[in-house]
Chain A
Amino acid sequence: MSTIVSLPDQSTATLPKRSYLNAEHGLLSWLLTGDHKRIAMLYLVSITFFFFLGGFFAGMIRLELLTPVGDLMAADTYNKMFTMHGIVMVFLFLVPSVPATLGNFLIPIMIGAKDLAFPKINLLSWYLYMIGGTFVLASLVLGGVDTGWTFTTPLSTHYLNTHVITTATAIFIAGFSSIFTGLNFIVTIHRMRAPGMTWFRLPLFVWSNYAASIMMVLGTPVLAIAITLVALERTIGIGVFDPAKGGDPLLFQHLFWFYSHPAVYIMILPGFGVISEVISTFSRKRVFGYTAVAFSSVAIALFGFFVWAHHMFIMGVSNYSALVFSLLTMLVAVPSAIKIFNWSFTLQKGSITFETPMLYAFGFIGLFTIGGLTGVFLGSLGMDIHLTETYFIVAHFHFVMVGGMLMAFLSGVHFWWPKMTGRMYPESISKLAAVTTFIGFILTFFPQFVVGYLGMPRRYHAYPAEFQVLNVLSTAGATVLGVGYLLPLLYLGWSLKYGAIAGNNPWQATGLEWQIQSPPLTENFLETPVVEWEAYDYEWLAKKQQAELSHV
Chain B
Amino acid sequence: MSVSSTFSEITHPPAPEIHASHDVHDHPFYQRHHFETAEQQREAAGFGMWLFLLTEIMFFGGLFMAYLLYRNWYYDAFVAASNSISVPMGLTNTIVLITSSLTMAMGVWAAEVKNKKLLQIFLLATVVLGFAFLGIKTGEYYDKFAEHHVPGASFSIADFVNPPAGSKEKPLPMDMAKKTEVYFSLYFAMTGVHALHMIIGIAILIVLLWKSNSGVYTSGYVQPIENFGLYWHFVDIVWIFLFPFLYLINRH
A residues in contact (CB < 8 Å) with B? 16-18, 113-115, 117-119, 121, 179, 183-184, 186-188, 190-192, 217-222, 224-226, 228-229, 232, 236-240, 245-248, 251, 254-255, 258, 504, 515-517, 521, 523, 525-533, 544, 547-548, 551
Given A237-B153, A246-B179, A516-B10, check contact A183 B55 (CB 8 Å).
yes
Q: Which residues of B contact A525 (CB under 8 A)?
A: 6, 10
* In-complex Cβ contact of A192 among B16, B44, B52 (8 A): B44
- Please state if B33 and A222 are interface contacts (CB–CB under 8 Å): no
Are B4 and A237 closer than 8 Å at their CB atoms? no
Verify B10–A521 contact, CB threshold 8 A. Answer: yes
- Are A118 and B10 CB-contacts (below 8 A) given A246-B178, A529-B3, A530-B3? no
Q: How far does the Cβ of A266 sit from chain B's closest Cβ, in whole Å?
A: 14
A224 adjacent to B40 (CB under 8 Å)? no
A114-B33, A217-B54 known; 10 new pairs, CB 8 Å cut-off, are A114-B34, A192-B34, A221-B61, A236-B152, A240-B185, A246-B179, A516-B10, A525-B6, A526-B21, A527-B20
Within the complex, which residue of A16, A251, A504, A548 is in contact with B69, where a contact is CB–CB below 8 Å? A251
Interface assignment of B59: CB less than 8 Å from any CB of chain A: yes
Task: Pull 15 A–B residue pairs with CB atoms less than 8 Å apart, ordered by A.
Answer: A117-B48, A220-B55, A232-B189, A237-B152, A238-B152, A238-B184, A240-B189, A245-B178, A246-B70, A246-B74, A246-B182, A517-B13, A526-B6, A526-B20, A530-B2
Query: Please, which residues of chain A bring their CB within 8 A of the CB of B242?
Result: none
Minimum Cβ distance to chain A for residue B191 (Å): 12
| B63 touches A (CB below 8 Å) | yes
Q: Is the CB of A532 within 8 A of B178?
A: no
Q: Is B167's beta carbon under 8 Å from chain A?
A: no
B7 at the interface (CB under 8 A from A): yes
The 9 A-B residue pairs whose C-beta atoms are closest, nearest first, are: A238-B185, A237-B152, A221-B59, A225-B62, A115-B34, A114-B34, A221-B58, A246-B179, A117-B44
In this assembly, does B143 line the interface, its C-beta being within 8 Å of a C-beta of chain A?
Answer: no
B40-84 contact mask (Cβ, 8 Å, vs A): 1 or 0: 100111011001101110111111011001100010010000000
User: Residue B214 at the A interface, CB < 8 A?
Assistant: no
Q: Given A217-B54, A245-B182, are A225 and B44 also a contact pair (CB < 8 Å)? A: no
Q: Quick one: which of A192, A255, A523 contacts B40, CB cutoff 8 A?
A: A192
CB atoms of A187 and B185 under 8 A apart: no
| Residue pair A222, B58 in contact (C-beta under 8 Å) | yes
Q: Is B1 an interface residue when CB atoms closer than 8 A count as contact?
A: yes
Q: Is the CB of A222 within 8 A of B8?
A: no
In the bound complex, CA of A238 to CA of B70 (Å): 14
User: Chain B interface mostly helix, strand, loop or mixed?
Assistant: helix
A118 touches B3 (CB 8 A): no
Q: Is the CB of B7 within 8 A of A218?
A: no
Interface string of B149-172 (1 = CB under 8 A from A): 001110000000000000000000
Q: How far is the CA of A529 from the CA of B36 in the complex (A)?
A: 12
Contact (Cβ within 8 A) B10 A526: yes
- Residue pair A240, B186 in contact (C-beta under 8 Å): yes
> A-B pairs with CB below 8 Å: how many?
159
B residues contacting A by CB (< 8 A) are 1-4, 6-11, 13-14, 16, 20-21, 32-36, 40, 43-45, 47-48, 51-52, 54-56, 58-63, 65-66, 69-70, 74, 77, 151-153, 178-179, 181-182, 184-186, 188-189, 193
- The smallest C-beta distance from B234 to any residue of chain A, in angstroms, reads 13
Q: Contacts A117-B44, A245-B181 given: A239-B151 contact, CB under 8 Å?
A: yes
A529 and B13 in contact, given A222-B58, A225-B63 (Cβ under 8 angstroms): no
Nearest-CB distance from A350 to chain B (Å)?
25
Q: How many angstroms between the C-alpha atoms of A346 and B153 in the bound complex?
A: 64
Distance in angstroms from A436 CB to nearest chain B CB is 37
Chain A contacts of B40 at CB under 8 A? 191-192
A16 contact set on B, CB distance < 8 A: 13
Hey, which chain B residues are within 8 Å of A224, CB to CB?
59
Contacting residues, chain B, for A190 (C-beta < 8 A): 47
Q: Are B47 and A187 in contact (CB under 8 A)?
A: yes
- Residues of the B chain whose Cβ atoms lie less than 8 Å from the Cβ of A225: 59-60, 62-63
Nearest CB on B from A17, distance (A): 6
- Taking a contact as CB atoms under 8 Å apart, the answer to whether B181 and A239 are in contact is yes
8 Å CB contact of B44 from A191, A220, A236, A547:
A191
Question: With A18-B16, A114-B21, A221-B59 in contact, is A551–B152 under 8 Å at CB?
Answer: no
The CA of A518 and the CA of B230, in the complex, are separated in Å by 41
**Chain B residue contacts of A188, Cβ below 8 A:** 44
Contact at B51–A222, with CB atoms within 8 Å? no
A222 with B182, Cβ < 8 A, contacts A236-B151, A551-B8 known: no
Inside 8 A of B70's CB, which chain A residues have their CB?
Answer: 246-248
A246 x B52 contact (CB < 8 A): no
Q: Report which residue of B40, B43, B55, B182 has the largest number of chain A beta carbons within 10 angstroms of its beta carbon.
A: B55
Q: A551 CB to closest chain B CB, in angstroms? A: 7
Q: Which residue of the partner chain A has the closest CB to B32? A: A119
Taking the nearest CB of chain A, how far is it from the CB of B20, in angstroms?
A: 4
B77 surroundings in chain A (CB, below 8 A)? 246
Distance of B197 from chain A, by nearest CB (Å)? 13
Known pairs A16-B13, A521-B13; A239 contacts B55 (CB<8 A): no
List, in ascending order, chain B residues with CB within 8 A of A529's CB.
3, 6-7
Contacts of A220 in B (CB 8 A): 55
Contact B56 A221 (CB under 8 A): yes
A179 to B57, CA, bound (A): 13
- Contact between B181 and A255, CB atoms less than 8 A apart: no
